[in-house]
Amino acid sequence: MTSPAEPAPRAALITGASRGIGLAVARRLAAEGYALTLSARTPEPLEAAAAELAGPGTRVVAVPADAADPDALAALLARHEAEHGRLDALVLNAGMGFGSPIAETPLRRVDKHVALNFRGPFALVSAALPLLRRTAALDARGARIIALASLAGLMPEPDLAAYSATKAALVSLCESVCLEEGTRGVSATAICPGYVDTELAAWKTDEIPAEEMIRADDIAELAVALTRLSRHAAVPRLAVNRPGSLFQA
């Protein structure tokens, strides 16, 4: 436990933290000394991630929650605040992508993409802003929201219309946060990678071998770098390409 004389350690809340990019970010932030709240839907791998990262200097709580459900997100945020008291980095990482041509995409699939990739993040950002502002007032680095969008949010891919559109909306949300909250020390970055070697991209390995994909660790390294910047640097979006491909926003 932190004694009253010591400032509370910087704290991060990460959705989709039980594997892939979210777990890679959690590992890096734990190594930086962050207190963590990890969330995902399935309890067992989430508990395993928390057990891996918790240590004498690292307080980690695991909170199962569906990141498409605003009520579950409100409870997740309340638990984070009760456990850690501050929020230096909010990592909006949980997301889904299910491909199909527009003509064959049922609206319920569109709704699922909207709920998880945009509506949930919007709800969490909205609810978290008071705590982010209070935290930013304590630290010269301010407080950061880091959202995992996608290159597809900057330039749509064929057969990924719902994914691309919802990631574009997430990019726009990060830009709006920078505009509205920047002078209070809160900013947001949409990290927009091409294919990253995780479970989510496994369907693409016939076309792009896993070893040619971006590493989850590279995305985590960028996320940590963002948390080290001063409040004077806002980075609304970051495009991350595979070698041999090039798209810049």
Q: Catalytic site residues?
A: 163
Class of residue 56 by CB neighbours under 10 A (exposed 0-12, middle 13-18, buried 19+): exposed
The H or E element containing residue 11 is strand 11-15
Q: Cβ of residue 1: shortest distance to ligand NAP, in angstroms?
A: 28
Shortest gap between Cβ of 195 and ligand NAP (angstroms)?
4
Give 93 or 135: the residue with its C-beta nearer to ligand NAP: 93
CB of 87 to ligand NAP, least distance (A): 18
Q: Which is nearer to ligand NAP, 29 or 67 (CB)?
A: 67
The DSSP bridge partners found for residue 147 are 92, 190
Determine the Cα angle at 121 with ends 20 and 230, to 5°: 80
Task: Catalog residues that contact ligand NAP under the rule CB under 6 A.
Answer: 15-22, 40-42, 66-68, 93-97, 116, 148, 150, 193, 195-196, 198-201
Nearer to ligand NAP, 26 or 136 (CB): 26
Question: CB 191 → ligand NAP: shortest distance, Å?
Answer: 8
Q: At what angle do helices 120-136 and 161-181 cross, to 10 degrees?
A: 20
What gap in Å lies between CA 53 and CA 167, rounded to an integer? 29
Residue 96 DSSP label:
-
Closest CB to ligand NAP among residues 135, 150: 150
DSSP 18: S
What are the E-state strand segments in 158-225? 186-193
